[in-house]
Chain A
């Protein structure tokens, strides 16, 4: 029997092996190389010089221009996550209480933005949000404002574009979390004297926190790493970190500096996620996460 048990124990290992192999071969070496290169020097005349220094990191972390962009990237992504959460929660809640067929259709509708490539989708938003576009014509036609709303090529435009596409990720993650809540729990709360709002705030919402966390992290990470939408809907005026990295790589060919920025972004984004997770998991409703 021991050999048999040992073989059974190996099954999970075999199951993750293909993915592990892909990660080890195609993912880890480039990352490692990027990391190493972020410590190299660069000269516009001679290109990359294989000499170790911390200058790339120092340059980024001491320059208020770069730090400002880093800050903007982070808060922009956080706002996108928040917008998706606030708009997505009622939708997820509603979908969950719908009948089978209608539910499937609505989920499909929410996923539909993912069916269009990012460039086309962004062009669509540009047309829609342009100073002479349908939105502004409607707003001005109704005499709500006299001037076009400053949305396009502004942070708000970027937030709209990002929220539009990542909304689906938030809703799906909320649905899967809400689905796992025993339907008799809100009933029990009602039975014990809670009105619908109290039952939601005391029972349903805390129990859906894992979904809130997962959805927010997902949207945040995707937003931090997005490039095309901020570039197109920001019109070059809303510079985010990915755009800086792109510049360093393509325009200045300063790969070491670009790599350093990429790493700062990676570490910061992971750090924020870890902290947010810790904060929730150690909070009042820590039992939900066990």
Chain B
């Protein structure tokens, strides 16, 4: 069942087009991530769903009803703001209870519900404190409790984890996942952090320049980026420009990068021989070995630089004149490869993605 729907939503600020015809359908209970760089229109989209901004064109529907002209206070949408937007002059009790007070819920019930909401976000007993007396992570939990306590139809989160330090972020991420599973509430969150989007959402909408470039499940976004923008925004890619040399059956394609360097792929290509294309390979899909093995792609290279990051080791090499990087997971059996070593870089056909230029 479709819960939230955006139909050709458009928003301009003066001469700047912030959102340019966005279409989205979000299922009941689904979590959708709006992912993109700053200025891509993701926050504007969220603000339009919340009712803080009017649409220039298009419709927003909740439960099949157009809500374009419904004021924010009548939308029954919970929102967690990027800076949490806790009321500094009110105690946590009044912050969390605000939505219930506005809905004229009896006092005893408010007390009970606030308590339960704070228990839910694992922050019991802070009712009497002021937001300032809480840490960033605690404020985040209060903001979450405040957005959920009045049983909203949908939950909106604006960069929910961006203000937390790395360790806390990981912890909150797991808790958000858990909470999401327990509550089953339809949620939309905005983020510029790809990991956050991949981990927390059922589907990811990658936005750029006011449009959705790709809307898919996280694995598909990562494995099969539809556009060059999605490919470059999510994860890393080694990109090599070349010319289609051969198109075989079953998706087999050969791309010539340089003299004597031909990359094989089985991902298919819709164009013709001689087209200029780009071959993209994820650094973690490449391997290094001391001896050449029977791989689809295998090229002798020299290790130029090694960056030891702990969890992974990055080896810099050059294939056909293009600087590439290979990620090798640090499994303890460190390859006995030093800078300057002659090795072979290898990968399988299916990891060579081909995009038109």
Contacts and interface: CB of A to CB of B under 8 A. Distances in A.
Interface of A: 182, 184-185, 187-195, 198, 202-203, 206-207, 285, 287-288, 290
Given A190-B52, A191-B73, A191-B77, A203 B102 contact: no
Given A185-B87, A188-B87, A287-B130, A193 B77 contact: no
A194 B73 contact: yes
Given A190-B52, A198-B102, A288-B89, A184 B81 contact: yes
A157 B85 CA distance: 45
Contacts of A195: 71, 73
Range for the number of chain B residues in contact with chain A:
20 to 34
Nearest to B94: A202
Given A182-B83, A198-B102, 12 more contacts: A185-B87, A187-B50, A187-B81, A189-B87, A190-B51, A192-B146, A193-B76, A193-B102, A206-B89, A207-B89, A287-B88, A287-B91
Contacts of A184: 81-83, 85
Interface in B82-137: 82-83, 85-91, 98-99, 102-103, 130, 132
A288 B78 CA distance: 25
B70 to A, nearest CB: 12
Contacts of A285: 89
B200 interface: no
Nearest to A184: B85
30 contacts: A184-B81, A184-B83, A184-B85, A187-B52, A187-B81, A188-B79, A188-B81, A188-B85, A188-B86, A189-B87, A189-B98, A190-B51, A190-B52, A190-B71, A190-B72, A191-B51, A191-B72, A192-B99, A192-B102, A192-B150, A193-B73, A193-B99, A194-B73, A194-B102, A202-B87, A202-B98, A203-B87, A203-B89, A207-B88, A290-B132
B81 A287 contact: no
Nearest to B82: A184
B130 A190 contact: no
A190 B73 contact: yes
B320 to A, nearest CB: 51
Contacts of A187: 50, 52, 72, 81, 85
A193 B150 contact: yes
Contacts of B79: 188, 191
B233 to A, nearest CB: 26
B102 A191 contact: no
Contacts, number: 70
Interface of B: 50-52, 71-73, 75-79, 81-83, 85-91, 98-99, 102-103, 130, 132, 146, 150
A202 B87 CA distance: 10
Nearest to B91: A287
Given A203-B87, A207-B88, A287 B98 contact: no
Nearest to B98: A192
The residue among B90, B103, B150 with the most chain A CB atoms within 10 A of its own CB is B90
A32 to B, nearest CB: 41
Contacts of B90: 287
Contacts of A202: 87, 98
Contact of B85 (A182, A198, A288, A290): A182
Contacts of B71: 190, 195
Contact of A193 (B50, B87, B103): B103
A184 to B, nearest CB: 4
A184 B89 CA distance: 14
Nearest to B72: A190
A187 B85 CA distance: 9
Contacts of A203: 87, 89
Contacts of A189: 87, 98
The residue among B86, B91, B102 with the most chain A CB atoms within 10 A of its own CB is B102
A285 to B, nearest CB: 5
A91 B76 CA distance: 32
Contacts of B89: 203, 206-207, 285, 287-288
B73 A288 contact: no
Across the A-B interface, the 10 shortest Cβ-Cβ residue pairs: A193-B102, A192-B99, A188-B85, A184-B85, A190-B72, A288-B89, A285-B89, A191-B79, A192-B98, A193-B73
Contacts of A193: 73, 76, 98-99, 102-103, 150
A193 B151 CA distance: 12
A203 B52 CA distance: 17
B78 to A, nearest CB: 8
A188 B91 CA distance: 15
A191 B88 contact: no
A203 B95 CA distance: 11
Contacts of B75: 191
Nearest to B90: A287
B265 to A, nearest CB: 48
Contacts of A188: 79, 81, 85-87
A33 to B, nearest CB: 45
A194 B86 CA distance: 15
Nearest to B77: A191
The residue among B78, B89, B102 with the most chain A CB atoms within 10 A of its own CB is B89
A201 to B, nearest CB: 12
A207 B89 CA distance: 7
A138 to B, nearest CB: 42
B76 to A, nearest CB: 8
A206 B130 CA distance: 15
Nearest to A187: B52
A259 B198 CA distance: 76
A8 B315 CA distance: 48
The residue among B81, B91, B146 with the most chain A CB atoms within 10 A of its own CB is B81
A190 B50 CA distance: 10
A207 B86 CA distance: 12
A10 to B, nearest CB: 31
